[in-house]
């Protein structure tokens, strides 16, 4: 028997793979720039592993497209961006920041939100010990009731900034809108904008000025120009997803078109046919009795399941693409296996490429189509894609 040189064999493969389109990302950022104008900074929101696209792969792509500012949810994600980036852009932490991480954060000149005075006091002490100023963004409570400084703590935070300019760099004044992607929430958004402007007036009255004011997310940047200040925090839209149907309909109204979609999906997800099974009429497919064959069928077995991020809610509902044709999921989506009906797709064979999300020939499976059969939002679905799936940038 011939020996195999294990040193020259290819690395073991994952059961699925993700590609990321550089041209789609560039197009999305150009469209966003056309909406917000030339001046505001675009901060690429790459929390949740870049919304499932993969920080390691996505950050260099965004840099290539001109992005020099990244927003994350934790110091751990800040480290991932720091390791992935190739330029000296800014990193901003919007969420959890443990006190023991502050020396590292301040030492690496990473910006961070302050939404309670204790964090600011601790940052002041650490900044003096480290010998570098803490780069802080005051997040104010404008009506979302999630995180943010209320009136009295805000006054104390402003006092600390005014009295310690050498140790506390006032980088930003920010707030977070509570569901601006839905027109049903507009009565809240109006109040939030008024409250943010009131906080801004208090800053000026104290003789201070933040370097950057920012309130706008993807939805606000696309639909509400009055929310755009010095920086916009863009997540959903840069990945090619509309924040919601109301924002998309507002875009159509502004353009006067019945159909128009300038946002391009960055992510494509694929796997391969693992096995083929001929099923007789009346037999059940997979676990339990969720699906009984109404006729003689050919079923393709795919090596992905809910542990790989393919939602169990797509059992007997979802579709994939094989040889350019849609194949419906039959039976329950298992932990690592999903079955699809290929009875009418002639010539399907083991090893054929399967598109889970993306385009194949003239058909496409969109991320939005997943939410037709489950309560998952676009962002929820993609952010749950396991980090172990390899992500590869393509043109």
Catalytic residue status for 35? no
**What ranges make up the beta strands (E) of the chain?**
17-21, 41-45, 69-74, 90-96, 111-114, 134-139, 168-174, 212-214, 231-234, 267-272, 275-279, 297-302, 319-322, 325-328, 338-341, 353-360, 363-365, 391-394
Which residues on neighbouring strands pair with residue 300, listed in sequence order? 276, 340
Q: Which of 76, 98, 257, 287 is catalytic?
A: 287
Say if CB 154 and CB 198 are below 8 A apart: no
Of the candidates 208, 233, 210, 206, the one whose C-alpha atom is nearest the C-alpha of residue 222 is: 233
Of the candidates 131, 127, 124, 129, the one whose C-alpha atom is nearest the C-alpha of residue 160 is: 124
Catalytic residue status for 291? no
Q: How far apart, in Å, are the Cα atoms of 135 and each of 169, 256, 296, 371?
A: 5, 43, 66, 39
Q: Which of 35, 47, 270, 326 is catalytic?
A: 47
Instruction: Tell me how far apart the alpha carbons of residues 264 and 280 are, in angstroms, rounded to a whole number.
Output: 42
Tokens (6 digits) for 309: 């991020």
Instruction: Tell me how far apart the alpha carbons of residues 83 and 386 are, in angstroms, rounded to a whole number.
Output: 20
Catalytic residues: 47, 287
């Amino acid at each position: 028997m011939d020996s195999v040189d294990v040193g020259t064999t290819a690395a073991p493969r994952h059961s699925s793979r993700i590609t990321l389109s550089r041209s789609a990302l560039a197009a999305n950022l150009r469209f966003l720039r056309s909406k917000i104008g030339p001046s505001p900074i675009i901060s690429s929101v790459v929390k949740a592993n870049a919304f499932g696209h993969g920080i390691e792969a996505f950050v260099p792509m965004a840099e290539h497209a001109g992005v020099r500012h990244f927003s994350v949810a934790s110091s751990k994600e800040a480290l991932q961006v720091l390791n992935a980036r190739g330029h000296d852009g800014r990193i901003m932490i919007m969420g959890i920041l443990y006190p023991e991480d502050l020396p590292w954060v301040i030492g690496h000149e990473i910006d961070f939100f302050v939404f309670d005075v204790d964090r600011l006091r601790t940052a002041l002490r650490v900044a003096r010990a480290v010998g570098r100023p803490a780069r802080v963004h005051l997040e104010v409570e404008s009506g979302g009731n999630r995180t943010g400084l209320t009136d009295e703590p805000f006054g104390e935070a402003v006092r600390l900034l005014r009295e310690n300019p050498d140790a506390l760099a006032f980088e930003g004044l920010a707030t977070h809108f509570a569901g601006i992607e839905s027109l049903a929430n507009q009565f809240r958004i109006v109040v939030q904008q008024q409250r943010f402007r009131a906080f801004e007036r208090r800053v000026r009255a104290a003789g201070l000025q933040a370097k950057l004011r920012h309130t706008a997310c993807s939805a606000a940047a696309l639909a509400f120009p009055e929310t755009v200040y010095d920086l916009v925090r863009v997540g959903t839209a840069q990945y090619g997803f509309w924040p919601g149907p109301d924002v998309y309909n507002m875009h159509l109204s502004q353009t006067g078109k019945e159909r128009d979609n300038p946002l391009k999906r960055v992510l494509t997800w694929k796997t391969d046919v693992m096995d083929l099974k001929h099923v007789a009429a009346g037999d059940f497919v997979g676990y339990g009795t969720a699906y009984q064959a109404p006729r003689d069928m050919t079923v393709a077995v795919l090596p992905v399941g809910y542990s790989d991020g393919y939602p169990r809610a797509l059992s007997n509902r979802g579709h994939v693409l094989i040889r350019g044709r849609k194949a419906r999921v039959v039976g329950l989506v298992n932990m690592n296996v999903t079955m699809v009906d290929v009875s009418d797709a002639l010539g399907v064979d083991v090893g054929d490429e399967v598109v889970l999300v993306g385009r194949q020939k003239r058909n496409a499976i969109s991320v939005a189509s997943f939410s037709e059969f489950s309560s998952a939002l676009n962002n929820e679905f993609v952010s749950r894609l396991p980090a172990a799936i390899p992500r590869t940038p393509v043109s």
